[in-house]
Amino acid sequence: MDHALLAQDLAQEARRLSALGLMACTAGNLSARLGGSTGDLLVSPSGIDKGDLTADAFIRCAAEGTPLEPGRKPSDETRLHAALYRATGCGAVVHGHGIHAVALGLRGGDRVVFSGIEMLKAFAGTTTHACTRTIPIVENDQDMTPLAERVLAARVEEMPAVLVRGHGVYAWGRTVAEAGRHLETVEWLCRLRLLSGL
Ligand SMILES: [Zn+2]
């Protein structure tokens, strides 16, 4: 996709996810892969309220995460995004600190399992409520290398998201909108689990 249009998509989705409360206090980050042979990425900047992001705020980075615009600092988690592109072939990655997902992760365990929920159909490729979907949970780390290894090792084919304990959720998709929808869906399901008390 064209650089300018993709940056607009990212800014719009950042504002939407921020309004949903998934990116409080400058938390969260978003990226998308530009078309073409280089695999370059557009990545949100570090330390800025994601509700204030405009299209020109997104920073071009190489496929492995190195910033290509001198003097500009992309998200500290860019290398984890880059690892997810390599592993999944996705087109966009979003990360947020949804409070229900974080709360559910604090209950322990290495996964949360959902069955028979209509909202599972919000995950790309899931066409019926009559299925079981598992969101893996991994331990947090300030070092992106082990965190990326854990996320990639834990991910399962039919679930485009991983929950990091005490931290938040990484979700991905073919487009920015799809990745954002996956993040929103994980938060909705985690909220449901807490509300239902099951
Ligand atoms: Zn985070």
- Count of domains forming the chain: 1
pLDDT of the chain along its 198 residues, tens only? Answer: 688 999 999 999 999 999 999 998 888 999 999 977 788 999 999 888 888 899 999 999 999 999 999 999 998 899 999 999 999 999 999 999 999 999 999 999 999 999 999 999 999 999 999 999 999 999 999 999 999 999 999 999 999 999 999 999 999 999 999 999 999 999 999 999 999 987
CB atoms within 5 A of ion ligand 1 belong to: 168
| Distance from residue 134's CA to the centre of ligand 1 (Å) | 21
User: For residue 129, what are the CA distances in angstroms to 23, 63, 124, 180?
Assistant: 28, 36, 13, 20
CATH number of residue 59's parent domain: 3.40.225.10
128 C-alpha to ligand 1 centroid (Å): 31
Q: How far is the CA of 77 from the centre of ligand 1 (A)?
A: 8
Q: How far is the CA of 167 from the centre of ligand 1 (A)?
A: 6
Nearest to 65 by CA among 76, 57, 49: 76
Write down the pLDDT at residue 49: 86
Provide the residue range defining the domain that includes 83. 3-196
pLDDT of residue 89: 94
pTM confidence score = 0.95
